[in-house]
A and B are shown apart, each in its own frame.
Chain A
Amino acid sequence: MVSRPFENLVQSGSVSGPPSGGDYALDRGFRYLAWASAALILALVAYIVIEIGSKALPAIAQYGLGFLTSSEWNVQTGQFGILPQIWGTLYSSLLALLLGGLFGIGIGIFLTQDFLPPRLAATFRTIIELLAAIPSVVFGLWGIYVLIPLLRPVANWLHEVAGGIPFFSTSLSGPGLAPAALVLAIMILPTVASISVDALRQIPYKVKEAAYGMGTTRWEAILKVMLPTASSGILAALVLGFGRALGETMALAMLIGNSNQISLSLFAPANTLAALLASSFPEAGPVEIQALMYAALALLTITLIVNAVGLAVMKLATRKFEVER
């Protein structure tokens, strides 16, 4: 019931009054809607985990943890293991994070620290975000028809000159880790760059003034003040970029070579969990599907762990540098 405690106390002619019953109902309705939306997300995650988990159960029962440490994927003999895929997933994602992270943060700095006139910087930010809108399969095609032919002579020259170094120990015959990681780096670049830009733009002007007021050069201000101040946001950018790299599917399935081997070489073909799932599902029989479900569960777990660790690191950085609110 709407309460009207002041109704008869104020002089007549005042238009002040309580919200109507309808206003209160809307208020309550919106609150329930918000709760329901939040609950739906939790339910969805739980449902996906349970669904995949239950379909993977037979495979988990049959192969146990050995599934994670075995390198064989043979439908004929019914032997399944995903160690090469785990290795390929982490290796390609780390390489992409190294490249994409470095350039992404660099772009973040470039677009926020007065290197460009404000309007030009805004235009660049839009272009970077457009990069995120390019479909994965287009990147894959570009990788096959442009990047691999471009990379091959360089890779093979490196292999000839410095073949002793494990990273260059094979030649690049076509698809392989290097083109896959490069494309992956380009794909996570918009994520890392735009979140870094946001983090750096959130730094209050007074912090910049403080830095320059101490007599820093521009680079000193950026390296010693701006980056540490934005550290938790930049870490978030890297974690999200890494998460995106772990799960990226189509471009990798096209570029990485789908070969179940573990090699440090940047030019050897490899495989990732996501690429394995994408390329094996269409023709998989019932037994292989169970194994693939197990692999999917492994990928899900890796992503969850990476995100949890990332969040923890971010929280640590926040504790150290910022006030708790």
Chain B
Amino acid sequence: MNQIDRRKFLFGTAGGVMALPWLEMYAEDALTKKLKDPSLRFASFYSPMGFVRDHFFPEKGNQNFLEMPTLRPLKKVGKKVTLITGLSRVNVRGVDVHNQCSSCYLSSANPNGELKSPYPMDRTLDHLIADKVSHRTPIRSLELNCNTFKDLKESIYLDNISWYGPEHVATTIKDPRQVYKRLFKTGKSDKDITDLILQDASNFEKNLSSHDKDKLDEYFTSVREIEKQIEKLSKYYATHERPDMKEPDEEPMTRGEYIRMMGKLLVLAFQGDLTHVATFMLAPERWGTPQRFHELNFTKSHHGLTHSQDRQDVKKALSQVDRFYVELFAEVLEQLDSIKEGEGTLLDHSMITLGSGLGDGKDHTMDELPIIVAGSANGRIKTGHILNCPEKTPLANLWLSQAQLMGTGMERFADSTGPLKGLLS
């Protein structure tokens, strides 16, 4: 009995279901003696401002999406990839469209609800999933962001797809050295100090208004989360080897090298079961700043390009940017697919999405969002084809399906009308 209580304390349980402790993930099923299904990994990649449409979506009837100029880099893992068409999100008019499309992407929150922020925001899919599965891993979730703009002039909404709730951003990590530290260093627990400040915080709370109590709650949760993580990580590294990876240094990297490094860290995190939930921003929404794309040999504003894509030369450059990001995404998939795990590969035991909050960067539509899902989620998703959904199918339907596949038991997700038809095999 004592044992169970201790476990409960360490890992927490969500929804009252006592979950399997994370170190026993690969245990055999007691009855069948077969290996249980490997744990599913969830990652959501975000690419800003949509993709050039006619380089991304094949014409109706053409199933051969892997021949599309932007999607060609996915060929090597093409059989494990699904292109989904017809998904859309309701655009709230009168507020900034770019802010909205990134910050609301993963929650797809109901635009008609009562808004606690300028945009309809809510707890995002990754955190709803982490609430359920984080007991399996030492790290609750990873929020990675490949925004290297030095000016930091744009708002928080453009730079974040992962939110704990309205106006409560999940701080992203942009520095590979910090990701490395998070994954592979144990950290120093200082129980004395955390006990002290938690005690102080709870005395403090008694004098607060309800709004301020919510703010303090962020503090409580954060302190506890860190404590838990340190404890779980040190326990984890008591029995696990650290991967053979050199700590990233301060050497300047090209845009491609940098994103590749972040991707590699994500793969290692999934491979080592350090976490099962991640978000990955390839670049922030709308930043009006020109960016050096070393590999493409130009410095251009991605956002600027999307607005002039009617011009052939601009469209060409924009397609190169699109393809550049898809290539880097494909590299992550290839790495996941090269790692054997049980009877399949790590990619087979994952559900990795690449998408954008805009269907078209020029017209700012939120219909026909470009979405690719990779990995079959332990064979449950039908892959290697185009899934054509009826027009204006809520994006939330896909999120609902993913939430269900990740075992949240959710029956509705924001404005979903049901799980996404045709997704499963």
Partners in one complex: no
